[in-house]
Amino acid sequence: MASISLKIYSAALKTRTNVNVIIPTLLPAQDGMNKREHEFARFYETHGCYPVLYLLHGTYGDEGDWQRFSRIEDYARHHNVVVVMPYGENGAYRNAKSGKDYEVYITEELPKVIQWMFPVSKKREDTYIAGLSMGGGGAVRLGLSHPEVYGYTIGLSADFGLITENVKNNEFTVWSHAFEGVDLDADETSNSYKLAEKAMTEERNRTRLYLACGTEDFLYQENCRFHEYLDEIGYEHEFSTREGNHNWDFWDSEIKKVLDWLPLTPIEQELGF
């Protein structure tokens, strides 16, 4: 894998921001033998238009979390997928009154930047969004709101209401700046339940959903309620639950399962192993 750290100016955020990108590249000979021939031309001539996964971090995190604390590079190499990891502050991936429009940045501006810079597909069926905790709730909300962008959406230990309840009930939280001036009782853009219900009434392709949460996670009951609601309204989805807590042991093993679930071609299959 090639690992690239970008610093770009974002018009939606009105500031410079960081993005990490990992891209599948040429692999060495599997038998470990050195060869006189240089077999790079065919790889770079035939590989392009990779599927792309936008991977969001949680509260207090940054663009480097997934690479530091999980084996995402190894999993992405195996599945031939580009992974884009943006910095989202503690902004819940929302448009804010302060002018930092994270929803516009993630769903509109960043995909344009990535498509301009890297060999990724522009098709919605090749474009995925995932995240953990705050990022999981953000990914689900953005996936449901923008099915024309994301064919597949994944929420790991996702927040489906805890953040908004904290903002409503406390004078200050780490997420307060993202909700300044918002009537949370009337704001349906924060409510994944409303967004899922709306998606069921619209004549367009719905994003495919995958949810996962450990049984010891403090967000487990919240995830179970959302899963049950999706069942109630008939929104087809995957719900993975097993023993696990709100930590990287669970998220690392689950993102591996997610990549198996996505419509990706493993490198061994491509190479005929």
Q: Which CATH class is domain 2-29+39-271?
A: alpha beta
Q: Residue 206: is its pLDDT beyond 80?
A: yes
Domain boundaries, the chain: 2-29+39-271
Q: What is the DSSP letter of 25?
A: -
More confident residue, 202 or 101: 101
Which range, of 25-29, 167-171, 234-238, averages the lowest pLDDT? 25-29
Confidence of residue 147 (pLDDT cuts 50, 70, 90): very high
157 alpha carbon, distance to own chain's centre: 12
Per residue in 30-45, pLDDT tens? 666 666 566 777 778 8
d(CA 203, CA 244): 37
Token pair for residue 262? 């996505």
Q: Residue 55: is its pLDDT beyond 60?
A: yes
Confidence of residue 266 (pLDDT cuts 50, 70, 90): confident
The SS3 of residue 235 is: coil
Please, are residues 213 and 220 in contact by the beta-carbon 8 Å criterion? Answer: yes
Average pLDDT over residues 215-237: 98
CA end-to-end span of the chain, whole Å? 19
Confidence of residue 106 (pLDDT cuts 50, 70, 90): very high
Average pLDDT over residues 10-16: 97
Average pLDDT over residues 45-68: 94
Q: Residue 124: is its pLDDT beyond 80?
A: yes
Output the average pLDDT for the chain: 92
Confidence of residue 88 (pLDDT cuts 50, 70, 90): very high
What is the dihedral sign for C-alpha 239, 156, 53, 138?
positive
For the entire predicted model, the pTM comes to 0.94
